[in-house]
Amino acid sequence: MVNVNEVYKIVLTITNKDNRGYITPEEFNKLADQAQNELFEGYFNKQLTYESGILLDSDFGDPVLFNSEKINLFYKDATLSKTAGVWAFPSDFYKLGIVRVKSIVADFASHGDIKFINLSPLTAPVATQPVFTLNGSGIKVYPDTVASDVSIEYLRKPASPKWGYLMPTASQVAAGVPNKPIYDNTAFDPDTDSYDATAKSFNFELHSSEKSDLVAKILTLAGVTIKQPDIVGFGQRKEQQIQATEQ
């Protein structure tokens, strides 16, 4: 993970130099979420590019291995529940890997193919050779007599980061504490806590190596927010430098 407070302090230091503008915690959290999602979604295009190129014969220099390490932070498995004929994906679902029916790996079929597959007794799915189709927010499994033990391996979405804070009390302000948000490092739980509440914090879920890229991408977005083209340009140049080192 990447510490959200470290990224926040760097972004504020750069954007607030010479009083260019101030990014509120709420603005930062929105930009941070956008930056994390862009980096996360970029992993998959990178993987295709790396796998189609020449690989370096080194564990620590192999871009495919390193990118896979970043992606696999979000690997999960889950047992699904059936409602109205559809086995629903988990709420944090992002990308499907393997479907299993009673520990047997099911084959994928398109909606067009499944119609023809089911027509013939020779090709119709059976419990020992199941088939599945994608269906909106879940899957349909064939034979449709399957009633339990359907599980998947999948990649989940990263939870939104959050820089949480508390405001100083009146007595703290009177004692000289600046009247501005104070970082709250109390652990935020994305499953039970509300993002609308200002308190509690949650770190970026990306690989620790992504800290510089997160800062650069947030700065690019922040420069637009505070209408500072030089910040936008700085962030874009840093992104390009980082991308060049990953080639």
Residue 207 pLDDT level (bands cut at 50, 70, 90): very high
Contacts of 43 (CB under 8 A, 6+ apart): 67, 70, 71
Give the C-alpha separation, 33 to 198, whole Å.
Answer: 16
Return the axis-axis angle of helices 229-246 and 4-15, rounded to nearest 10°. Answer: 130
Residue 119 pLDDT level (bands cut at 50, 70, 90): confident
In which element (H, E) is residue 141 found?
Answer: strand 138-142
Residue 227 pLDDT level (bands cut at 50, 70, 90): low
Q: Within 10 A of 115 (CB to CB), how many other CB atoms are there?
A: 10
Residue 56 token pair: 């370096």
Residue 174 token pair: 């009177």
Q: Where are the domains of the chain?
A: 4-72+158-246, 75-156
With b for 16 or more beta-carbon neighbours within 10 A and e for fewer, the 54-65 pattern comes to: eeeeeeeeebee
The overall average pLDDT reported for the chain is: 87
Give the C-alpha separation, 206 to 148, whole Å.
Answer: 34
> Using one digit for the tens of pLDDT, what is the confidence trace for 135-167?
989 999 999 999 999 999 999 999 999 999 999
Q: Tell whether the model's pLDDT for residue 237 goes beyond 70.
A: no
What is the SS3 assignment for 66?
helix
Give the C-alpha separation, 218 to 236, whole Å.
Answer: 10
The reported pLDDT for the residue numbered 16 is 76
